[in-house]
């Protein structure tokens, strides 16, 4: 319950909700808190299970709540039975909005605390949809009986508020209809709406009008209330501007990150059951320093890659994009896997100071009569493992020079054959170097032991088992990106 008016009775309201809920047995129910001007009504609503229940005598009303309440009882509407109780709100009954602006010695400290709390609430969100709701519940009932917050788009202001709040929840729909017939002045001002005097304050930030805060009350706004409202409007506009900037930047980041992810998987590949798991580090990232790809290269072959750029964040993602697009372009032009890595190495070095070294496992898959032939090159990447149906796990490729370090580096491909039932596993160091108490997941061949337990599983099941093992290895979230590619010959 975020309404300011309910804060003084929050503990009592929670206790009352618990007592009412405890009287419900064996049926689903919902708890509803309703702000009704001078009171807060707690309701526990439950549906009668069948028509027989409707004919049964009403359940007896239990003892009165232990929490002091104004009223309590049980009402019935169709199949719904509602047990309710109402608590008086001290701030509404004991202190009217006018008293907040009355001349008294404590007004200064009271309002300074109020404005400080308002600033903290506004600074606590970067969601532009939440800011109007916070604004409304800050000023009601402190400054006004009701508040409507409008936000303007590029084409001007809408006719309906982004958020509307009233001291009496029952009047919100009526007020919304009245506001729909009014043109809100974008530059601010005042107007009369029914029995309310309305004060309109523009939300200005960095020379732009982002919206308007409309305050309504039955009497005129005193000068000091107007000053406080202006102060709240300035703080609210800054909070809304910050939230909009953050949302715009986050949307741009997501769009850029999505552009670096591979397109959809290439569809059915003869003789191959593939699976990929990709998890970048960080809550807002979709792309990091690790990457993967699987695509058709033409001529009856397919290519795959799994790589790890040094570092995380936007700089690493830029090298990710360079590597993935270079791999696809050169592969479709007919370059072999070794030649592709040589040219990618030079492309990274050409980036100069922006260059970052890269480990990469790149392979070409060709279906053959008795399984799959895979031509592989490992450029400093964690070892690739092959699992036989017998449970034997073995390393299948020799690590060569990593990319982006040595201009003279050259690469040679190795041929690996996968019989039906064989599984090839390639991971980044987000898997092998997952750490707990100074120990790595791959210490003493930990990854190979885990892989050996995957005999008979599909590629998807193998990838998910490895992912879960990485997550469960340590209690804290991983600080490194993770990519897992599983190729199973059918």
Note every long-range contact of 202-209, with CB atoms under 8 Å and residues 24 or more positions apart, other chains counting: 202/233, 202/237, 203/151, 203/233, 203/236, 203/237, 203/240, 204/233, 204/234, 204/237, 205/237, 205/238, 205/240, 205/241, 206/241, 208/241, 209/152
pLDDT of residue 1: 43
Residue 118's region, left for phi above 0, alpha for psi from -120 to 50, else beta, is alpha
Work out the end-to-end distance of the chain between its first and last CA atoms, rounded to an integer number of angstroms: 57
What is the structure's pLDDT at 6? 63
Q: What is the mean pLDDT of residues 130-138?
A: 89
Alpha carbons 78 and 319: distance in angstroms, whole number: 64
Distance of CA 481 to the CA centre of its chain: 18
Mean pLDDT of 455-477: 93
pLDDT band at 288 (very low <50, low <70, confident <90, very high): low
Confidence at 101, pLDDT banded by 50, 70, 90: very low
Give residue 363's Cα distance to chain centre: 35
Over the stretch 5-16, which tens digit does the pLDDT of each residue have? 566 788 888 888
Cβ neighbours, 10 Å, residue 260: 18
What is the DSSP track for 317-369?
A: HHHHHHHHHHHHHHHHTT--HHHHHHHHHHHHHTTGGG---EEEEEEEEEEET
Closest of 204, 167, 155, 131 to residue 6, by C-alpha: 167
For residue 48, what pLDDT is reported? 65
Highest mean pLDDT among 26-35, 197-206, 263-272: 197-206
Kindly list the domain boundaries of the chain, sorted by start residue: 4-91, 99-256, 263-489
What's the confidence (pLDDT) of residue 434?
A: 92
Mean of pLDDT values over 253-265: 71
CA-closest candidate to residue 216, choices 175, 265, 257: 175
The CATH classification number of 99-256 equals 3.30.450.40
Long-range (24+ apart) CB contacts under 8 A made by 33-36 are 33/1, 33/6, 34/169, 35/3, 35/5, 35/6, 35/167, 35/168, 35/169, 36/86, 36/168, 36/169, 36/170
pLDDT above 90 for 401: yes
- From the CB of residue 302, how many other CB atoms can be counted at a distance below 10 Å? 24
- Rounded CA gap, 10 and 236, in Å? 25
| Tens digit of each residue's pLDDT (9 = 90 or more) over 309-330 | 887 666 777 788 888 889 999 9
Q: Per the structure block, which two tokens stand in for 175?
A: 């007020």
Q: Say if CB 108 and CB 34 are below 8 A apart.
A: no
**What's the pLDDT score for residue 267?**
77
Evaluate if residue 56 carries a pLDDT over 60: no
Do the beta carbons of residue 290 and residue 262 sit within 8 Å? no
Which token pair is 77?
Answer: 């509407």
Mean pLDDT of 450-475: 94
* pLDDT band, residue 264 (cuts 50/70/90): low
**For domain 263-489, is the CATH number 3.40.50.300?**
no
| Averaged confidence pLDDT in the chain | 84
Question: Residue 155 — pLDDT band, cuts 50, 70, 90?
Answer: low
- Give the pLDDT confidence score for residue 375 in this predicted structure: 96
- Label residue 126 exposed, middle or buried (CB < 10 Å: 0-12, 13-18, 19+): middle
- Mean pLDDT along residues 340-345: 94
**DSSP state letters, 20-60:** HHHT--SS-EEEEEEEETTEEEEEEEEE-SSHHHHHSPPPP
Q: How many whole angstroms separate alpha carbon 76 and alpha carbon 85?
A: 14
Contacts of 289 (CB under 8 A, 6+ apart): 308, 309, 310, 311, 312, 313, 316, 317, 319, 320, 481
> What's the confidence (pLDDT) of residue 197?
92
Give the mean model confidence (pLDDT) for residues 200-207: 91
Please give the residue that has the higher pLDDT: either 399 or 91: 399
pLDDT greater than 70 at residue 103: no
User: What pLDDT is stored for residue 139 in this prediction?
Assistant: 87
Judged against a pLDDT cut of 50, whether residue 93 lies above it is answered with: no
- CA distance readout (Å), 348 to 218, 230, 357, 402, 444: 69, 55, 8, 11, 34
Count of helices and strands (H, E) across the chain: 13, 22
User: Tokens for 194?
Assistant: 């029914």
Q: What is the pLDDT of residue 419?
A: 96
Residue 50: band (very low, low, confident or very high) from pLDDT cuts 50, 70, 90: low
Percent of the chain with pLDDT over 90: 42
CB 360 within 8 A of CB 341: yes
């Amino acid at each position: 319950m975020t309404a300011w008016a309910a804060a003084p009775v929050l503990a009592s309201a929670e206790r009352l909700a618990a007592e009412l809920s405890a009287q419900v047995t064996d049926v689903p129910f919902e708890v509803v808190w309703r702000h009704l001007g001078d009171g807060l009504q707690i309701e526990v609503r439950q549906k009668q299970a069948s028509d027989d229940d409707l004919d049964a005598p009403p359940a007896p009303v239990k003892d009165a709540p232990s929490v002091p309440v104004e009223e309590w009882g049980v009402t019935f509407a169709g199949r719904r039975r509602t047990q309710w109780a109402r608590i008086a709100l001290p701030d509404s009954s004991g202190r009217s909005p006018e008293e907040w602006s009355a001349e008294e010695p404590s007004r200064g400290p009271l309002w300074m605390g109020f404005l400080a709390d308002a600033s903290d609430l506004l600074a606590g969100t970067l969601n532009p949809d939440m800011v109007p709701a916070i604004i409304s519940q800050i000023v009601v009932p402190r400054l006004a009986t009701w508040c409507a917050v409008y936000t303007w788009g590029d084409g001007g202001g809408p006719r309906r508020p982004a958020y509307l709040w009233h001291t009496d929840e029952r009047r919100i729909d009526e007020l919304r209809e009245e506001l729909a017939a009014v043109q809100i002045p974008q530059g601010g001002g005042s107007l009369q709406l029914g029995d309310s005097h309305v004060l309109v304050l523009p939300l200005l930030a960095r020379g732009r009008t982002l919206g308007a805060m409309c305050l309504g009350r039955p009497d005129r706004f005193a000068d000091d209330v107007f000053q406080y409202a202006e102060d709240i409007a300035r703080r609210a506009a800054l909070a809304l501007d910050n939230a909009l900037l953050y949302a715009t930047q986050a949307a741009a980041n997501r769009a850029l990150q999505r552009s670096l992810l591979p397109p959809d998987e290439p569809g059915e590949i003869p003789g191959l059951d593939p699976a990929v798991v990709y998890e970048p580090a960080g809550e807002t990232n979709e792309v990091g320093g690790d990457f993967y790809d699987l695509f058709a290269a033409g001529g009856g072959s397919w290519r795959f890659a799994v790589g790890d750029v040094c570092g995380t964040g936007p700089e690493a993602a830029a090298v990710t994009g360079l590597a993935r697009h270079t791999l696809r372009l050169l592969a479709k032009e007919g370059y072999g896997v070794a030649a592709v890595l040589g040219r990618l190495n030079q492309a990274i070095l050409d980036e100069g100071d922006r260059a970052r070294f890269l480990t990469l496992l790149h392979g070409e898959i060709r279906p053959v009569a008795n399984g799959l032939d895979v031509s592989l090159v490992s450029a400093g990447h964690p070892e690739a493992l092959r699992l036989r149906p017998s449970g034997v796990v073995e390393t299948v490729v020799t690590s060569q020079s990593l990319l982006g370090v040595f201009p003279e580096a050259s690469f040679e491909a190795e041929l690996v054959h996968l019989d039906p039932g064989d599984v090839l596993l390639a991971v980044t160091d987000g898997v092998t170097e997952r750490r707990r108490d100074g120990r790595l997941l791959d210490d003493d061949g930990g990854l190979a032991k885990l892989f050996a337990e995957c005999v008979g599983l599909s590629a998807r099941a193998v990838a998910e088992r490895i992912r879960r093992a990485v997550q469960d290895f340590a209690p804290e979230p991983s600080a490194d990106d993770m990519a897992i590619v599983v190729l199973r010959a059918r």
